[in-house]
Structure 1
C-alpha cells in the first residue's frame, strides 16, 4: 500500500465487482460450488442453530478476525465476533463494535438520494450542479472548468469523468493527500471540480462522484439524514483499527471520504438499513426498483450497489443478491441483501485485502461464497 495506485486498487475493490461479474456472467450456470459450505440440495430453511453452526464453521476455516451478522426477516439469527483485534492475539473482537462502513456509505447515500429526489431528476442533465459552485462553502470564487451535463445517475454510477482524489500526491504511508488532510480544510470537495466533467463518461470508480452528489443535495435544500445508528466520522475518528500486512494501517482522515465512505456504524445499524429497504419503509416500490435496477449493457451495477443472480452451494437456483463492498486501508466491509429471501448478511474484518481474501460469489468458492451459502441455503 505504498503508492496512490495501490490505494486506488484498495478503494476500488467495492467497484471491482462490476467487471468480474460481467466477465463471468456466461459461466454462472455452470459454476462448480465449494463442497465445504453445507448442504448439496435446497430443502427447508436452516434453523437458527444450523445457521450459527454453519457460519461458525466458515469463520473458523478462514481464520476470520471481525464480525458477522446474519438476519432473516425481522430476526437477527447471529451477530458474532471472531478472532482478535490485533494479529497474533490480544483483546478479542466483540459484537457491536463501531466500524467504518467505507463504501457501504455509497449504498446508503444512493438510497437516501433516491428517496429525496423525484425519480425523473435522476436523469435530468444536472444544470443545477452549477449552482453548487456558487455556494461559497463549496467553491469560494475559484475558477473551475464547466461542469457539463452530468446527471445524478451518472454520479451515482461513476460515469462523470470528474477529478479523482486518489491521484493526489501521496504522503506518509502512501496515503493520497486528499485523504490525509483536515476534512474541514480548504481543499475538500472543491478539488473535485478541478477537472471538466464528461456526461456519460466510461465507468471510472471515483469518490468525488459521491462527494459532489452530496453537495448537490445540500445545495438544493435536501441534505441527507443518515440512518439511525450511523454517523459521519469526526476528524481523526476511524473506529476499529485496521491492519495491513500484519502491521497497523497508516494515518488518514476517514472523515475526508464523506458521503463516499466516511460513515461509521455497527453491523446492526447496517442490517436495520437493509431491513428498511426490504420492507419498503425507506423507499416505495418504484423507487426501490430504480435503486436496484442494473444499468445493463453487460453490467450489474445499480445505484450505489451491484445486483446480480448468484449461485450458492445448497440452493437449487441462483439467488438475487444485492451487494456492496467497502475497503479503506485495513478494514473491509461487505453488505449482502437477498431481498427475495428476506436475508441480510453483514460482514466486517479489520484485515486488509492483502491479509484476508474475501473473494466473490461468482467465483463459486472462497469466504464470501461459503458465508452466503451457509446463511441462505
Structure 2
C-alpha cells in the first residue's frame, strides 16, 4: 500500500497511469525517464527507457541527476531565511549588499531590489546570451555577472517578468557577502543537513562528475548521441549547479511548503506570484512556481534544465510530491515532461 494508508487499488492505478505516461514520454525521443512520487513520507519510482544507452540499463534506484534550476529554490530559501534573521531586506537595492557589481548598459543595482532578483523582474540580461552553457571550463560567479553587464538591460526593473539566470548568480553572491560563506556551504548547513537530504549536494569547485548511482545525460549533435554527463556546472552556479534525487527534491519541496524551512511571513512572500510564461498559466514567486495542473489542485515547485537532464515537478496542497526526470533536454519539450507530472499529480 502506498504510504500505508492509501487503498491498494488506488496505488496500483496511479502506478499504472504514471508508467504509461512515462512510456509515452520516451516515445517522443528521449532516451529514458523516471518519475518519483512521494506521499506521507513514502516514495515509489517508475521508469521507462534507458538511463545508459551504452548498456541499455534503466535509471538506477534513487538516481542522482543534475537538477538545474531547482537550485534556484534552494538559493531563494536561504535568502529568505536571511530576511527572517534581519540580515537582508527584500526591498533593498542589491547595490546595498554588492556595491558597484550591477552596473553598465542600463543595468543599475541601485534600482533593482533583492525581491526583483528572486522574482525575475529585474530586467537584467542573462549571461547565457553571451557565454552559452559551457561545461568545459570553470567560471567564477563574478565572471558570469560581468558577462551579463556587457549586455543591455532588457526593461525597467519591476515592469515585466523575464527569466534570467543572472538574477540567481547575484543571489548567490549576496548569500556569500552577508554570511561569509559560499552558497554551497549555506545550502548544506541550512537545508541539506537539517532535512537529511543525503543524496543532494552542490558540486565542489572544478567537480565534473556525478557522485553515486546516476543515469547518463545526453545531447544530440548532428543526429548522434553525445554523452554530456560529466561537465563543470559552474556556468550554472547558484542558478543551476546542484545534484539531487527525485526523492530528495520531493522531500525538499514538501518541507518548504509545510513551513519547515521558513517562517510564515517569508513563505507567504515566496508564494506571492506574478504571471510567468515558464509554464502555461504559471505564476512565479520568489524562486517558487505555482504550476497549473488539469485536476485543479494547488501545486508549487520549480523545475530545471541543464545539458543532459530535465526535471519537472512539485508538491500539491494535499501532500503528493512528484518529480519527473529525463536524460536529454533537446529531444522532448518541457510540456511533454509536464504531462507525466500532471498524470502523477491527478491520477487516483
TM range (shorter): 0.7 to 0.9
> 1:206-225: per-residue Cα shift (whole Å, max 9, x none)?
11110011101211227542
Greater RCO, CA 8 A, separation 6+ = 1
Query: How many residue pairs were aligned?
Result: 310
Deviation at 1:305, TM superposition (A): 2.5
Q: Distance in 1 between matches of 2:173 and 2:297?
A: 36
> Where does residue 111 of structure 2 map in the other structure?
149
User: Does structure 1 residue 348 correspond to structure 2 residue 325?
Assistant: yes
> Where does residue 98 of structure 1 map in the other structure?
64
Is the CA contact (8 Å cut-off) linking 1:179 and 1:252 kept in structure 2?
Answer: yes
> Where does residue 21 of structure 1 map in the other structure?
none
Structure 2 spans left out of the alignment, 5+ residues: 1-5
User: Does structure 1 residue 60 correspond to structure 2 residue 23?
Assistant: yes
Deviation at 1:303, TM superposition (A): 1.3
- Per the normalisation by structure 1, the TM-score is 0.71
> 1:241-261: per-residue Cα shift (whole Å, max 9, x none)?
322336125575312211100
- Per the normalisation by structure 2, the TM-score is 0.76
Is the CA contact (8 Å cut-off) linking 1:333 and 1:347 kept in structure 2?
Answer: yes
Cα RMSD for the two superposed structures: 3.4
Is the CA contact (8 Å cut-off) linking 1:100 and 1:238 kept in structure 2?
Answer: no
Q: Distance in 1 between matches of 2:234 and 2:283?
A: 29
Q: Distance in 1 between matches of 2:253 and 2:124?
A: 30
> Where does residue 319 of structure 1 map in the other structure?
297
User: Does structure 1 residue 117 correspond to structure 2 residue 83?
Assistant: yes
Deviation at 1:47, TM superposition (A): 3.5
> 1:287-334: per-residue Cα shift (whole Å, max 9, x none)?
22221221369861111122155332xxxxx11111312111231101
Seen in structure 2, the aligned counterparts of structure 1 residues 129 and 373 have a Cα distance that, compared at 3 Å, is same
Q: Distance in 1 between matches of 2:54 and 2:133?
A: 31
> Where does residue 256 of structure 2 map in the other structure?
277
- From 141, 157, 166, the equivalent of 1:208 is 166
> Where does residue 267 of structure 1 map in the other structure?
246
Is the CA contact (8 Å cut-off) linking 2:313 and 2:322 kept in structure 1?
Answer: yes
User: Does structure 1 residue 74 correspond to structure 2 residue 74?
Assistant: no
- From 99, 105, 121, the equivalent of 1:131 is 99
- SS at structure 2 position matched to 1:122: coil
Structure 1 spans left out of the alignment, 5+ residues: 1-42, 170-175, 313-317
> Where does residue 3 of structure 2 map in the other structure?
none
> Where does residue 218 of structure 1 map in the other structure?
176
Q: Distance in 2 between matches of 1:271 and 1:254?
A: 22
Deviation at 1:233, TM superposition (A): 2.3
- In the TM superposition, what are the counterparts of 1:15-26 in structure 2 within 5 Å? none
